[in-house]
Structure 1
């Protein structure tokens, strides 16, 4: 089994979704913090060997949250460039596995990440998340796949590896990713309304 202590968390936070317009979606508020900080907060207690955030001209301060920040000046060329930078930084810090997470997936939990680690038996491991229909990040890769990850190009990223790996199914709402303003509006409607209801219930006790 691969351990969190030997694994680098690589958070891809350089994407500028064309479908979101001119706004940096990762800085958009959701509940009590920017969208990108939800996965940061959810995974902060997992004892990763190191944490790496690959960014592109962001105002978000990942360094203050314990991340080595890697700037990707060519983020417009596709996600694979960010992936390569993150994996190389993980190699430089002596990691024997990488956990690739996306900053626009705000409902990921530490419990699910530990489930991915539980299925990873060694350096050949490729363990991805799934909603029961298709695989998605977060995804875990053992060191044997580092050369393949460093050769990824374009927007395809590591999808071919992920498709051929083991898929750990979790709830679909845990794997929501935010690509459009409508996605964010729906997320706010689903979770902020629940928060208001719970707060109201406490006040009425």
Structure 2
């Protein structure tokens, strides 16, 4: 691989899952597989490698949850500094030109939307979707170097948020009418509580393939 070619899929999984009762939501089963497995399964058709950002104490459990797929694990040198620092850590761990970024708690996001964001980001600094009238910072696609610079700019302001990264990145904002062509609002469900987990379980059950195979299982064929 030559530097600055291809696309990385970045999964942000370093949060403490406090609203989930302290259990690491990334490894909680949904439809018979860990939540993070659904996210990686959506990324695999779109990217050339997967980078998972996490705290040091999560690494072994996340590798086990994603086995047998090999992923690059970008461990935060200092835990609990927030998603912006985690995103920067992950972006620094790849030599790909582009990155598609997804949080670990959005198991319903479709590959088709991620592919569209990647396409829209090719001739810009990045691309983010409009959902229910608001610009969402994730999922997103971005040029890796621009993303690192935007994260650093946001960190320099103190107490950075992902919205600050979007401001610094100045990406293409994909209109909602275009987003709806690839995903309905349920695709953006954040599974950060047990109640949201139940909704995701029901949604996945309704949309499961006739052969019952998960996205991650199909992606490892």
TM-score (norm 1): 0.79
Q: Confirm or deny: 8 A CA contact 1:87 1:149 kept in the other structure.
A: no
Query: C-alpha offsets along residues 110-138 of structure 1, whole Å, 9 cap, x if unaligned?
Result: 1111111222243x422012323222211
Query: C-alpha offsets along residues 144-163 of structure 1, whole Å, 9 cap, x if unaligned?
Result: 34312234337644313435
Match of 1:35 in 2: 35
1:179 aligns with 2:192: yes
Mind listing any 5+ residue stretches in structure 2 that lack a counterpart? 212-221
How far apart, in 1, do the equivalents of 2:159 and 2:203 lie? Answer: 30
Q: Confirm or deny: 8 A CA contact 1:88 1:150 kept in the other structure.
A: no
1:68 aligns with 2:81: no
Match of 2:84 in 1: 80
Structure 1 ranges of 4+ moved more than 6 A: none
How far apart, in 2, do the equivalents of 1:72 and 1:19 lie? Answer: 21
Match of 2:218 in 1: none
Match of 2:107 in 1: 106
Match of 1:131 in 2: 131
How far apart, in 2, do the equivalents of 1:155 and 1:25 lie? Answer: 24
How far apart, in 2, do the equivalents of 1:117 and 1:29 lie? Answer: 28
Aligned residue-pair number:
189
